[in-house]
Amino acid sequence: MSRPVIAVSSYLEPAKWGAWDLVAAVLPHWYVDLFQEAGARVIIIPPDVDADVSVLDRVDGLVLVGGADVDARLYGQPPHDTADTPRESRDASELALYRGARQRGLPVFGICRGLQIMAVAHGGSLHQHVPDISELTHRIAPGSFNDHQAHFVEGSLIASILGAGAYTVNSSHHQAVADAGDLFVSGYASDGTVEVAEDPSAAFVLGVQWHPEHPERREGDALLIKAFCAAAVRYRSEQ
């Protein structure tokens, strides 16, 4: 069977390369490497103001990646003083992609911000500044990663893949899921903050707060990425 085709969301940010210094649709290549190494073809999806998500009819799975804070106004709160400038087009685009993927029964994998988008799409909300609610360091500084312990709920999808015991994750976030809406929270950090949420009614709809795309995570999180890609292969075979 041919390789599954995975749609991966991307950033819309100021970028500089060669002679150019302008806003660009960009994606850290770590994400591309992650899924290519697992045997998938990667299609990068830039933010789009058009609500049409028919591009999902051509893929076998959707990945929502990390990045800037989700706009708090989407879950009825004023932005915290520490919040990033809203990326309105990206928020709207990823919410539309997620909802379109769910309508089609596509496998979905959310990473960091991606988990938070999933929670908001399900009627949930976020802690806008994790240091306000926890003494555990989830991010030393922007662009840095901090390891800490997590555990997964027995019987959940994430536990079936990675086990239900203690697990080391790498954090780089200052916001976290406060309420996952009607998603099932299946993983917690050692301070009780949400590390994983999933939909038990779906074949594979799962978001994690950590960063499996980081090169140092490739071996430890390999089973998780393989499970997502296997779900994409099954989806293709059933169409």
Angstrom distance (rounded) from CA 44 to CA 22: 19
Q: Which of 94, 112, 198, 229 is catalytic?
A: 112
- HSE-CB at 234 with a 13 A cutoff on CA atoms is 12
Q: Which two tokens stand for residue 119?
A: 């929670």
Annotated active-site residue 29? The verdict is no
Q: Which of 138, 173, 174, 211 is catalytic?
A: 211
Q: Which of 94, 195, 198, 213 is catalytic?
A: 213
Annotated active-site residue 213? The verdict is yes
Catalytic residues: 112, 211, 213
